[in-house]
Structure 1
Amino acid sequence: MRPLYRHAAWAVAAPILTYAAFIMLGVTPFVQRHILYAHKLYQWWQNSDLPQNWGFARNQVTSFHLPTEDGESIHAWHVLPLPVYRQHQEALEIQPTGHCGDVQTSESLRILREDPSAKLILYLHGNAGHLPSVVRAPSFHMYTATSNYHVLAIDYRGFGTSTGSPTEDGLILDAYAALNFAMVKAGLSPDRIIILGHSLGSAVAAGAAERYARVHGIDFAGLIMVAGFSNLSDMLSGYAIGGLVPILKPLRSYPRVLRLILGCLVDHWESAKRLSNMVNIVHRNNMEDDRDKNKTKGKKGNQRRHLRVSLIHAADDNDIPCIEDDRMFATAIAPLIPTKDGLEPTPDEIFALKEQRTKHLGKGAFVSEWREGDVYIRQERFPHGGHNNIVLHPPVLLEMMRIFEEAAQRRQ
């Protein structure tokens, strides 16, 4: 019977030892970032300089590289909306195809720059793959098929043909480079730009938007976070690949060990805190502006700020649980809730206040809206879409329309 016991012991010990070895490797920064970003999962057999391979019209997409302020070169696509493309089709079709070495001379940039009504979506994708991977190319098709929305999408450093290696600060700098291109090279005002982030990209979007709001005092038309997460630590503690293969979930029964492992994270992606920071910045600025105007009639106050954040998640997301949006919404609105006797609102109080502003739309679906002056936080739970296909579902494109409509009203 001893060989039988030995085999049984190994059958139990082998998975535990393998899991322990995986965790030990995962605490090292090099391996950790490869697991988190999966940036080396690149389809080398696919030439992302030939967007026609993904069903785009000839030169509807300009493929080029952007420099970042720290010296990296990131791959980008500028996708023209088809109605605009149709107006300039003859001029576009005679242009060379493939990689554009000097985007400043491209016909597509000229079209964007000379259109005073142009609107742009900065698309920040999730981890793994490259620009056209998974649902990315299909989503670009959907956003540009009938609208006049341009799409600017980037591969972060270390992804696809972009140089460098991914880090939290580095990815935010990559988004910075894209936004700088849109505002400086293309000449778009911030109120004509929506930052759209999916999955990991939602954290990049929050990081870039928060830094622009805090450092430069710039507010964009809107920030859309699709299938996002509140912070990396909380997300990983309950994360399972495809909802089936747990990463750190087994360690939740051992909180000290879990805290020790999470303490080794080199990137943190505190999206909820960044949303809270933006709310504080905009809300306090506008309160000061109101006080100045009340004190002295005709006195010029601070420049009026605005913030439009949209959280969209599918109820059947098996990768990042939709409860993450609940956490982000609660953290974002907390600065807008008056304190009682100096005490912050409790989670139950926040939930009750949120429920008053929630419209339930059937099983697994609702919309919660919180408006406070020029701060608007919106959360939509959609019943279907999973983790990836949600970017192709109606809530995302409809929210783009609402955001641009509100931005147009503010300009009037």
Structure 2
Amino acid sequence: MLGTTPFVQRHSILYAHKFYQFWQDSDQPQNWGFARNQVTSFHLPTEDGESIHAWHILPLPVYRQHEEALQVQQTGHCADVTASESFRILKEDPTAKLIVYLHGNAGHLPSVVRAPSFHMYTATSNYHVLAIDYRGFGTSSGSPTEDGLILDGCAALRFALETAGLPPDRIVIVGHSLGSAVAAGAAERYARVHGVDFAGVIMVASFSNLSDMLSGYAIAGLVPILKPLRSYPRILRLVLGCLVDRWESAQRLRNMVSIVHRSNTEDGGEDKTAAHKYEGHSSDTNAPRRHLRLSLIHAADDNDIPCIEDDKIFATVVGPLVRNEAGKELSPPELLALKEQRTNHLGKGAFVSEWRDGNVTIRQERFPHGGHNDIVLFPPVLLEMMRIFEEAAQRP
């Protein structure tokens, strides 16, 4: 079966990164309706030597303030982004807020709903957007792997933190579909290795792990990948056992919850100074040093990745926060009953569940419409960005 080979998995099924519109020049963002030099197109280095394509998109209200200087810049690919006017605007603004956007599989930076979503996020807000093409996608070098894409996400975060100099509480990570798994991997690595907590992580149309996702996934909602094998569990297990990439997003997010929860309830051996490595804005040594705001947004009518995947993630990540009298995690029915107490039903198939425990907030929103792609254009995503930045501004 061809689908069990690593080459076919990575080049056709999982990433489809060769679905790149060669007749579209992504170094000319004006072709997608952006103002002249509203978008700076450049490349970022990764830890392992790849070069990934990136867009820095200015919010229009900020662009208008600097329009004259931006208009006279040369358009096209920017060889040194740090010398650009747009970078200067980002770096020198002490109030700048940044969305690090990690897109789904197939296509390149402006494909599908990506360019329209960037327009929506920047049209009226003051939010900058940094979006990347993973290795092998668009004009980025290399070939996609799970570890590689996580390094690509980390390269974007490192650029925001170290090159642009933004504190983590002014950065929100947004991942859509495959990008949600990249977001989970990159955010977990920064929390675990660097002790850095961002303002928030938004997972849109996400999945708990690749095995579960492929079991119910259908390309464009029409062509099932492994769903027909559900009637043959032994064959299904054999095929899933051949996956070269696993994308255990729910477990990675659970790790983040455990790190933050443990550091705020006991010593736990954590380096409590690491969390402020990039901040320097808080002098209150008694304030909790770690936090996590995780947001799960899914459309009820998503025919590509079933919305129940968010239910699985929610149950997995809440686990470390609650125990029964015997000190064990709650059973699924017990956890579901507690979740129901924290759920606001908003009509057929729509609800918001929010679980708060100290500095950990897990929020799940099921929106009635939006399918798999259009959901990134719908109000829940931008509204959640606003909530996250507002909450981050109120932290000590």
TM-score, length-normalised on structure 1? 0.90
Report the alpha carbon displacement of residue 346 of structure 1 after superposing the two structures with TM: 1.1
The within-5 A match list for 1:160-239 is: 160-239=138-217
The answer to whether 1:277 aligns with 2:255 is yes
Kept in 2: contact 1:230–1:325 (CA 8 A): yes
Q: Which has the larger radius of gyration?
A: 1
Q: Deviations over 1:258-314 (max 9, x none)?
A: 111101101000010011100000000000169xxxxxxxx9679620000000000
Task: Report the equivalent of 1:132.
Answer: 110
Determine if the alignment matches structure 1 residue 362 to structure 2 residue 347. Answer: yes
Tell me, in whole angstroms, the C-alpha distance in 1 between the residues paired with 2:305 and 2:116.
21
Match of 1:374 in 2: 359
Aligned equivalents of 1:109 and 1:352: distance in 2? 49
1:104-137: CA deviation from partner (whole Å, max 9, x where unpaired): 1011000000000000000000000000000000
**Does residue 153 of the first structure (1) align with residue 131 of the second (2)?**
yes
Instruction: Note the C-alpha offset of 1:252.
Output: 1.1
Quote the offset at 1:183 in angstroms.
0.7
**Alignment partner, residue 297 of structure 2:** 312
Q: Which deviates the most, 67-76 or 246-255?
A: 246-255
Pairing 1:40–2:25 present: no
Residues 251-330 of structure 1 aligned to structure 2 (within 5 Å)? 251-288=229-266, 304-330=289-315
**Match of residue 325 from structure 2:** 340
The residue aligned with 1:385 is: 370
Q: Is the Cα–Cα contact under 8 Å of residues 298 and 307 in structure 2 kept in the other structure?
A: yes
Write the deviation string for residues 220-250 of structure 1: whole angstroms up to 9, x where unpaired.
0000000000000011111122332211111
CA gap 1:196/1:300 in 2 versus in 1, 3 angstroms: closer
Secondary structure at 1:141 match in 2: helix
Partner of 1:15: none
Q: Superposition RMSD on alpha carbons, in Å? A: 1.4
Give the Cα separation in 2 of the matches to 1:244 and 1:300. 54
Distance in 2 of aligned mates of 1:260 and 1:246? 17
CA contact (8 A) 1:37 1:127 kept: yes
Q: Which residue of 1 aligns with 2:7?
A: 30
Number of positions where the alignment pairs a residue of Structure 1 with one of Structure 2: 380
* Structure 1 stretches of at least 4 aligned residues deviating more than 6 Å after TM superposition: 299-302
Say if 2:243 is the partner of 1:246: no
- Where relative contact order (Cα < 8 A, 6+ residues apart) is larger, the structure is 2
Q: Unmatched 5+ residue regions in structure 2?
A: 269-283
Q: Which amino acid aligns with 2:147?
A: D
1:95 aligns with 2:73: yes
Aligned residues of 1:289 and 1:301 also touching (Cα < 8 A): no
Does the 8 Å contact 1:288/1:302 carry over to 2?
A: no
Unaligned runs of 5+ in 1: 1-23, 291-298
CA contact (8 A) 1:285 1:302 kept: no
The residue aligned with 1:4 is: none
Q: TM-score, normalised by structure 2?
A: 0.94
**Aligned residue type for 2:70:** L
Between structures 1 and 2, the one with greater helix share: 1
Q: Conserved in 2, the CA contact under 8 Å of 1:229 and 1:325?
A: yes
